[in-house]
Amino acid sequence: MDLSKKKVFRGIVPSFTLAASALLVGFSGQAFADCERGALDVKYCDENGDLVADLPADESAWVNPDTLIFAYTPVEDPAIYSDIWQPFIDHLSEVTGKDVRFFAVQSNSAQVEAMRSGRLHVAGFSTGPTPFAVNLAGAVPFALMGSDSGQFGYSLQVYTHSDSDIHEMADLKGKRVGHTSPTSNSGNQAPRALFPEMGIVPGEDYEITFSGSHDQSMLGVVAKDYDAAPVASEVVERMAARGLYDEEDVRLVWESDRFPTTSYNYAHNLHPDLVEKIREAFYSFKFAGTELGEEFEGVETFIPINYKDNWRVIRTIQASNGVQYTRDNLK
């Protein structure tokens, strides 16, 4: 029986062997609960059907650490982002009364595993990996960067070098295209779901090479390592603002409608009083006049969201690609 999809039976009979019984024990050493969980890992329950892990019923399992560990999505230069996030980290510390430390993550899988194991309490997960964080690590998305009017999101953009012979999507046939990583929404999942509608099947009509990040995909186009690359518009805009590439060296081939951007999450087992303070810190933070505001141009505040509604389009894209939220599939 696949314990990730089926409920554990009540009344385990005494004849079960120790090895068999061990299958019912989580990484925390606690027995898995018999509960509704949908697509969530067997470690979590979802009795209210909101698609995210419930707060543990046992109050002794609630976590209220002296030091909060915060992480942003994997980026090319984590040290730069540690400095950029410092104004917010100071604000989060002031509101929660906790020491807050920035944790530089090297990959999506490492970030998800850190929250799953209890080493990460608050985190920004990229769009595509967010469902993995929700289902595998008990992450609870509650905020996005946006405007005071409630607008948010980014688009999938396809770039090529300015002197290439690619002028429309059909021209990608036979080319070498730099996708970012298997779990990335705009860097892989959305192209696989959306491009076939335009007569281009990734992996069949063109060769896919994984770059590892949006930054590397874009720089690969500039260097002509890739003939083209699908990337997130927000990353491209930040790179251009920092002068990491010459905008005259690239040409926009196609752009999608807007997707939700990085989700901000807390671990499902944090004490409710602490969660209330974390939410307060995010929603009260103003980007204007901070390094964070300069980095994320056009962003003014964090706005409230929920995973069930705001990630529906992403789950649909991933479902169309046959994505299953397992640890083996998280890369």
Which residue shows structure tokens 């999505």? 73
Query: For 48-72, how does the pLDDT look when each residue is reduced to its tens digit (9 = 90+)?
Result: 999 999 999 999 999 999 999 999 9
Within 72-156, where are the H helices?
78-84, 86-96, 108-116, 130-137
Between these two residues, 270 and 3, which has the higher pLDDT value? 270
Higher pLDDT, 83 or 331: 83
What pLDDT, on a 0 to 100 scale, did the predictor assign at position 289?
94
Residue with more model confidence, 70 or 28? 70
Average pLDDT, the chain: 88
Please state which of the ranges 42-56, 85-99, 140-154, 168-182 shows the lowest mean pLDDT.
140-154
Asked if residues 32 and 21 have their Cβ atoms less than 8 Å apart, the reply is: no
Looking at residue 224, its pLDDT comes to: 97
Cα gap 196→209, rounded to integer Å: 18
pLDDT at 23 over 70: no
Distance, CA of 248 to CA of 251 (rounded, Å): 8
Residue 208 identity: I
- With 70 as the cut, is the pLDDT of residue 178 above it? yes
- Statement: residue 96 has pLDDT above 50: yes
Q: Tell me: pLDDT of 305 over 90.
A: yes
* Whether residue 172 has pLDDT greater than 50: yes
Count the neighbouring beta carbons within 10 Å of the beta carbon of residue 248.
7
16's tokens = 């079960």
The reported pLDDT for the residue numbered 232 is: 93
- State what percent of residues in the chain have pLDDT above 90: 74
More confident residue, 241 or 192: 192
Partnered with residue 125 across adjacent β-strands are: 263
pLDDT of residue 1: 35
pLDDT at 155 over 70: yes
Residues 113 and 131: their CA atoms lie apart, in Å, by: 13
Higher-confidence residue of 241 and 15: namely 241
**Dihedral of the CA atoms 325, 45, 309, 120 (nearest 10)?**
-70
Segment 269-302, tens digit of pLDDT: 999 999 999 999 999 999 999 999 998 888 999 9
| Confidence at residue 329, expressed as pLDDT on a 0 to 100 scale | 87
Q: What is the pLDDT of residue 177?
A: 98
Neighbours of 237 (CB within 10 A): 15
What's the average model confidence in pLDDT over 155-183? 97
pLDDT of 30 above 60: no
